[in-house]
Amino acid sequence: MGRLFGTDGVRGVANADLTAELALGLSVAAAHVLAEAGTFEGHRATAVVGRDPRASGEFLEAAVVAGLASAGVDVLRVGVLPTPAVAYLTGALGADLGVMLSASHNAMPDNGIKFFARGGHKLADELEDRIEAVYDEHRTGAPWGRPTGAGVGRVREYDEGFDQYVAHLIGVLPNRLDGLKVVLDEAHGAAARVSPEAFTRAGAEIVTIGAEPDGLNINDGCGSTHLDLLKAAVVEHGADLGIAHDGDADRCLAVDATGAEVDGDQILAVLALAMREAGTLRGEAVVGTVMSNLGFKIAMEREGITLVQTAVGDRYVLESMKEHGYALGGEQSGHVIVLDHATTGDGTLTGLMLAARVAATGRSLADLAGVMRRLPQVLTNVRDVDKSRVTTSAELATAVSEAEHQLGSTGRVLLRPSGTEPLVRVMVEAADIEQARAVAGRLADVVKSALG
């Protein structure tokens, strides 16, 4: 079988790829692997289990809870909460394992399972590989060793998690949001209750959209992947800013008072300056990826802040932050990690901190985000080519060199083979959108001829 775990847990179409049997089996396997690793040694194991509002989350949650309890793990069911809330509660409650059922920004038919280790951190790759191997072993034959009698896990609702998480969010804010009017688009997702409650307790006047999840409407034309509704609502209500989350609220994008988008790079730029001012930007650096807009890098260099760039994916951003002790990192998509207060991207926390900066400075979000000029970026996918030869083709290397010479210091070229498809992504940034399109078109042609 192919690898089940991707870069962000196990995902697929619920009840087709991701079945109740798979969810149950993976949960039992996770319990066995963590027990083998000594995680449960000397005490009775506990897991925190949460989900987003997808209809399929109901049966998948039941399967995960059944699997864990059958393996002797006590379960605290926290219900519908954001992914970062489950991560936070896993750490705060001293649990041995956290499980979140969500497919994040994906469409409603999908779902996913994400495991968190003790402390609320993502599982290491080797543990995911071991869970998958153990699951496969038992799926094809060997029976599980199961506890009986008092050894089985006990299950209880943990309704206190909601208030505990909201209190944490308010507690880490540098200042209140009194006087701000904020529109919140909750994507009919996991933050539909949490985010409005947190912003209200912090002092903001709020307008909510996308905050009526029915199990079927998550991410449907709203949230961080569809900003048009939020842009219109911000202008209509005369709000100071708008905040958009995705289905599990680990992302945050924003809209300024004019209805213009403020993306993840701009949010990182605003927060980097705020944290440096507060003395919390360790290493005078922020971590992004190779897809970070060149305008972001130019702005940080001008401000005396180093932009450390990693491969695409929040797990690589997080690895770099942990390895070097950096406090802030994230992606253009709005996945922002503030490591002093969260172990993963937290969209509600990001939105609160962005709003807090607006409130503290008295400046508009447009003015604050103006610290960087987002350079036009053109992304072209070239399909059905031999992506393995991207780094070895002399013809392609010459074309890239010529393009880089033409763009100079005000532009950038990036060629990336897809990790999952037979295609190469051509990304070009330039001060002028037409120049970016022209250069991207020429490079795409060379990719086709050289690698086709």
Known binding residues:
104, 246, 248, 250
> Which positions make up the binding site for Mg(2+)?
104, 246, 248, 250
Phi-psi region of 100 (alpha: psi -120 to 50; beta: other; left: phi over 0): beta
DSSP annotation of 377: E
Please check whether residue 282 is in contact with residue 288, taking contact to mean a CB–CB distance below 8 angstroms.
no
Beta bridge partners of 183: 207, 242
Residue 150: CB partners within 8 Å, gap ≥ 6?
A: none
Q: How far apart are CA 163 and CA 78, in angstroms?
A: 11
Q: How far apart are CA 83 and CA 88, in angstroms?
A: 9
Q: How far apart are CA 252 and CA 199, in angstroms?
A: 14
The residue among 314, 323, 252, 342 whose CA lies nearest residue 285 is 323
Collapse the DSSP code of 135 into the 3-class scheme (helix H, G, I; strand E, B; otherwise coil) and give the result: helix
Beta bridge partners of 253: 244
The catalytic residue positions are: 104
Phi-psi region of 346 (alpha: psi -120 to 50; beta: other; left: phi over 0): beta
Tokens of 320: 């770099």
Tokens of 4: 């089940």
Please check whether residue 97 is in contact with residue 73, taking contact to mean a CB–CB distance below 8 angstroms.
yes
Q: How far apart are CA 152 and CA 276, in angstroms?
A: 50
Q: How far apart are CA 315 and CA 30, in angstroms?
A: 20
Q: How far apart are CA 66 and CA 153, in angstroms?
A: 9
34-70 as b/e: b if 16+ CB within 10 A: bbeeebbeeeebbbbbbbbbbbbbebbbebbbbbbbb
DSSP annotation of 9: B
Beta bridge partners of 111: 12
Please check whether residue 112 is in contact with residue 10, taking contact to mean a CB–CB distance below 8 angstroms.
yes
Q: Backbone phi, then psi, for 355, in 5-degree steps?
A: -65, -35
Beta strands in 314-363 (DSSP E): 328-330, 336-338
Please check whether residue 439 is in contact with residue 403, taking contact to mean a CB–CB distance below 8 angstroms.
yes
